[in-house]
A and B are shown apart, each in its own frame.
Chain A
């Protein structure tokens, strides 16, 4: 997929686990796991806002576009 979710890097930088994030933003661990592994087909603005608020980042820090070869 051309859109890459860099949730792992952000969590690592904040020394936070996926379970911690799930507890803090109220999104299920299963859904966050889908997002982290790049299996999500779409993302709600509310989810993006919650993650960015908690991890103190910009949407561009979480998502990146990579050209497929």
Chain B
């Protein structure tokens, strides 16, 4: 494998670890906030009631709690996608055209579908607790780029499946 490709793979590996660390840190932060919403709601209200983009803080406990749970779930799925990508990058230095990578890409595709499905109630909850027109109220919802990414993941999975079958046949050729 050319050295530029090796460098690219190393950079990708580092970037994926960094992204995974950020996702885990964000998820842990949200878990902390969710716990605070449950056990120390008056303190949370005191902190957020002066935020200009939020509606009445005292009435948003349930939607905020649901929103936090949804976001934690989204981050969990994102971490799963990153782990799948890490496994794919690890295999790329040996032989990327293996059937496991086709399965991984399909799992990534379904994970992206899950994120997109979670993004709809996220938008609903965000719109519930934020003032209309604010940046916060625009959170989640359908995204054209996400739909494109889902399509791309499934198409790539099919390509890898075909590639793995061809590689398998080539290896059995004498």
Contacts and interface: CB of A to CB of B under 8 A. Distances in A.
Contacts of B174: 27, 31-32, 34-35, 40, 42-44, 47
Contacts of B169: 41-42
B172 interface: yes
A46 to B, nearest CB: 10
B173 A44 contact: yes
Interface residues of B, number: 5
A39 interface: yes
Interface residues of A, number: 12
A36 to B, nearest CB: 10
Contacts of A47: 174
B169 to A, nearest CB: 6
Interface in B157-174: 168-169, 172-174
A47 B172 CA distance: 13
Interface string A26-57: 01000110110001111110010000000000
A18 B172 CA distance: 18
Contacts of A44: 173-174
Interface string B130-174: 000000000000000000000000000000000000001100111
A27 B173 CA distance: 12
Interface in B15-57: none
A39 B172 contact: yes
Interface string B103-126: 000000000000000000000000
Contacts of B173: 40-44
A47 B173 CA distance: 10
Given A27-B174, A41-B169, A42-B169, 10 more contacts: A31-B174, A34-B174, A35-B174, A40-B172, A41-B172, A41-B173, A42-B172, A43-B173, A43-B174, A44-B173
Nearest 9 CB-CB pairings of A with B: A41-B172, A42-B173, A40-B174, A35-B174, A31-B174, A43-B174, A47-B174, A41-B169, A40-B172
